[in-house]
Amino acid sequence: MSILESLRPAAGLRVLVSAGGNGIGATVARAFCEAGAHVHVCDIDQAALRRLSAEAPGITSSVADASVAADVDRVFDDLRTTLGGLDVLVNNAGIAGPTGPIDEIGAEGWERTMAVNLNSQYYFARRAVPLLKQSKAHPCVLAMSSVAGRLGYALRTPYASTKWAIVGLMKSLAIELGPQGIRVNAILPGTVEGERMNSVIAARAAAAGVSVEAMREEYLRKISLRRMVSSEDVAAMALFLSSPAARNVTGQAISVDGNIEYL
């Protein structure tokens, strides 16, 4: 296999993307599908799954709340029928969580952020690993963290705490699963263009008492390239990390962020 050929994921990979109905997850799912993979996604948003199915009929799906263990179990029940096994897990579920000073963040917001962003990583990994151990296709786990998993993030402590924890989980699993040939890496997106980022900027602007436009400019000043990234940028990294070219890349937290200098 040539170097150029190795940059493309092997055709026929069986891929599961959690929270794959919208945003980064949907872009990743479509990218794998276009690369010849068999893709199954889950999402809490049934309407989003219907839209994705219309756009990419080859992608199968399950309705599930990634923070609920029983829902995740049902996803893997569906997976037996749709994929018959697993080669790549994209552990993508996550929410922004509350914005505000730590003494004003309620327990409910904190706990929901932990449940969606961190507990889901555990629920999917524990069910995926037995299937990945049976894979002969350079199996891997991709854990979606964030640039907030390498930098402190004032007023976003629940979110940042989960994203740092995901990196720790990834590095531990890379050591644990390496002898079985399973690679584990984390992708750390930066400021990703789209509706979710618009909401985050608006919430942070309100908390800081400044205009949305001023807060957007503040975000851009923190990025060395002075631009946001796209969900396609993140999907491209996911494809690379699942390709033969990355067969010796594991235990890494890889930023796709234009080099965010501080938060």
Look up 262 and say whether it is catalytic: no
Q: Is 4 exposed, middle or buried (0-12, 13-18, 19+ CB in 10 A)?
A: exposed
- Which amino acid belongs to residue 214? A
**SS3 labels along 145-188:** CCHHHCCCCCCCHHHHHHHHHHHHHHHHHHHHHHHHCCEEEEEE
The residue among 3 and 67 whose pLDDT is bigger is 67
Q: In the predicted model, what is the mean pLDDT of the chain?
A: 96
Tens digit of each residue's pLDDT (9 = 90 or more) over 169-184 = 999 999 999 999 999 9
Residue ranges of domains in the chain: 3-192+231-256
Q: Which is the catalytic residue, given 123, 153, 159, 219? A: 159
Percent of the chain with pLDDT over 70: 100
Distance in angstroms (rounded) separating the CA atoms of residues 161 and 196: 19
Tens digit of each residue's pLDDT (9 = 90 or more) over 48-104 = 999 999 999 999 999 999 999 999 999 999 999 999 999 999 999 999 999 899 999
Mean pLDDT in residue range 155-159? 96
What local confidence, expressed as pLDDT, does residue 5 receive? 87
- CATH architecture assigned to 3-192+231-256: 3-Layer(aba) Sandwich (3.40)
Model's pTM, two decimal places?
0.94
What local confidence, expressed as pLDDT, does residue 170 receive? 98
pLDDT at 240 over 90: yes
What local confidence, expressed as pLDDT, does residue 184 receive? 98
What local confidence, expressed as pLDDT, does residue 208 receive? 87
| Distance, C-alpha 155 to centroid of its chain | 22
What local confidence, expressed as pLDDT, does residue 234 receive? 98
What local confidence, expressed as pLDDT, does residue 13 receive? 98
Tens digit of each residue's pLDDT (9 = 90 or more) over 193-226 = 988 789 879 988 998 899 999 999 999 999 999 9
pLDDT at 1 over 90: no
What local confidence, expressed as pLDDT, does residue 203 receive? 84
243-263 in b/e burial notation, b at 16+ Cβ within 10 A?
A: bebbeeebebbbbbbbebeeb
